[in-house]
Amino acid sequence: MDSDVVRSIVYIEDDPEMIDLVSLILSKRGFQVKGANGGRHGLDLAKKLAVEAKPALILLDLMMPDIDGWDVYQLLKSDDATRDIPVIIITAKAQSIDRVLGLHIAKVDDYISKPFRPQELIDSIERVLAAQS
């Protein structure tokens, strides 16, 4: 990877500690994580960045107090500015039905269950980005 290229990721999550943790993990791999505290902030941030400098992908929590993550996902996919940005779900909602819903019905790009290993997150992001190019 060219060290001058910084790939940005939007992380929509209602837990600031999770945002900090993921930022730390990914910054070591050349990513810049822009955290959004909750669904409303995340939608606003994703739309703003899509116009300025489109993020490489969006990490999205499902269980948030202001807007449910599935609603955020639908709104992202229905907006021309954010429709083509890949989305990886990161959630504690780990039942197999949720995974099937995410991957096969909603067509998210990947689905990671909390807690996860740092390498699992990195592998998922690299796989999704490779599929985009």
For the segment 45-101, what is each residue's pLDDT rounded down to a tens digit? 999 999 998 999 999 998 898 998 989 999 999 999 999 999 999 888 666 556 556
Q: pLDDT of 7-54, one tens digit each?
A: 999 999 999 999 999 999 999 999 999 999 999 999 999 999 999 989
- Position 45: which residue type? L
Give the model's pLDDT for residue 20.
97
- Position 31: which residue type? F
Q: What domains are defined for the chain?
A: 7-132 (3.40.50.2300)
Q: Encoding tokens for residue 113?
A: 């269950």
Give the model's pLDDT for residue 1.
41
How far, in Å, are 8, 43, 88, 89, 122 from residue 102 at the CA level?
A: 23, 19, 9, 8, 19
How far, in Å, are 29, 102, 125 from residue 15 at the CA level?
A: 22, 21, 20
pLDDT (mean) for 98-106: 58
Residue with the bigger pLDDT between 36 and 108: it is 36
**Full DSSP string of 25-46:** HHHTTTEEEEEEESHHHHHHHH
Q: Do strands 110-113 and 57-60 pair parallel, antiparallel, or not at all (unpaired)? A: unpaired
Tokens 């990721």, residue located = 9
For residue 56, report the phi and psi dihedrals to the nearest 5 degrees.
-65, -35
pTM comes to 0.89
Rounded Cα distance between 90 and 62, Å, is 7
Confidence of residue 4 (pLDDT cuts 50, 70, 90): very low
At 37, is the secondary structure helix, strand, or coil?
A: strand
Q: Encoding tokens for residue 109?
A: 């790009």
Which residues share a beta bridge with 12? Answer: 36, 60
